[in-house]
Amino acid sequence: MTTMTTTPETPRTSGTATAGTARPARSEHAPIPFSRLLGVELRKMFDTRAGVWLMASVGGLAVIASAAVVLWAPDDALTYETFGAAVGMPMAVVLPVIAILSVTSEWSQRTGLTTFTWVPRRGRVIAAKTVNAVLVAVVGMLIAFAIGAVGNVVGSALAGVDTVWNMTLGDFFAIQLANLLGVLIGFMLGVVLRSSPAAMVGYLVVVYVLTGLTMTLAAFQEWFADLQPWVDFNYIQGALFEGPYESAEGWAQLGVTTVIWLVLPLAFGLWRTLRAEVK
C-alpha cells in the first residue's frame, strides 16, 4: 500500500484583519470650512425665485418709498429723516421674510437631508444661516439708506429747498438695530416652526396683531401701561425707530424683552432642530 501524506491548507484571510495584523489607517477628511459653509448658505438665499425677488424688492421698495416722499411730501418735510423713515418701513417687512425663508427652506423644500448629510453638525449650518441673515439685513438697510440719501438730494433740488441732513449717527444705528432685531425675530420663528407659511403667519401675528392688542390693553389698563415697556418687545423695539434711548432704563427694557421674546424661544427652537428627524 502507498501511504499518502496531506499538507493542511493555509486558511484564507477574510476582510477582517487577523490577530496580530495591523489594521490599515482610516482616511479622515477635513471638515468643511465655515467660510465655505457661509458662501453656500448665502448662495442658497438667492437660488430660488422667491429669494431673488425678495432681494430685488429691497432696492425696488426703497426707490418707490423715496419717490413717494418726493411726490407727495410737503417741502418742509423733505429731510433725510423723512426719507430714512420711508425706506425703513418696507425693509422692516421684507428683510424678516428673507430670514425666515433662509431657515425653513431646508424643511419646506426637503433639502435638509442633503445639507445635514454633508454637514452632520447642524449647529454649524444654523450658525452660518444666522450670520448670513444678519449680513443681508445690514447690507439691505445700507442700500436702502443710500437710496434715501439720493432721494433727499434729488427731492430737495426739485423742490428748490436746502438739503437737510437731520439724521445723526446715533439715529442711524438705532434704526439699524431695530431692523436687525426684527430680522432675528423672523429668523427665530423660522427655527421654531420650520415651516415657511407657519413662520410668516406667526411673524404677522407677533408683529402686527399682538402689537394692536397690547396697545389697546395699555390704553385701558393702567397697570399694563406701566408694565408694557418691560414685557412688550414690539413696543420697546419700535421706539428705536425714533432714535436711541435717552436713559439706561430703555436699554434695560430692551434687554429684558429681547431675552423673553427672542433668546429663550430661539434656544428652544435650536434644541428642537438639533434633535428633529430629517426626512
170-220: per-residue pLDDT in tens? 888 998 899 999 999 999 999 999 888 899 999 999 988 999 999 999 999
- Are the CB atoms for 128 and 34 separated by under 8 Å? yes
Q: Is residue 25 part of a domain?
A: no
153 sits in which H/E element: helix 122-159
> For residue 134, with 0-12 CB atoms within 10 Å meaning exposed, 13-18 middle and 19 or more buried, which class applies?
middle
DSSP 8-state class, residue 110: S
Q: Which domain holds residue 58?
A: 34-275
What pTM was estimated for this model as a whole?
0.83
Neighbours of 163 (CB within 10 A): 14
Sites in the chain below the pLDDT cut of 70: 1-30, 108-113, 278-279
Q: Is residue 194 part of a domain?
A: yes
Closest CA to 194 of 276, 92, 137, 75: 276
Q: Is residue 191 part of a domain?
A: yes
Amino acid at site 18: T
Q: Is residue 65 part of a domain?
A: yes
Q: Is residue 18 part of a domain?
A: no
Query: For the chain, what is the mean pLDDT?
Result: 83
> How many structural domains does the chain have?
1
- Are the CB atoms for 204 and 270 separated by under 8 Å? no
Q: Is residue 212 part of a domain?
A: yes
- Enter the C-alpha cell of residue 235: 413696543
Q: Is residue 2 part of a domain?
A: no
Pairwise CA distance, residues 198 & 192, whole Å: 10
Q: Is residue 15 part of a domain?
A: no
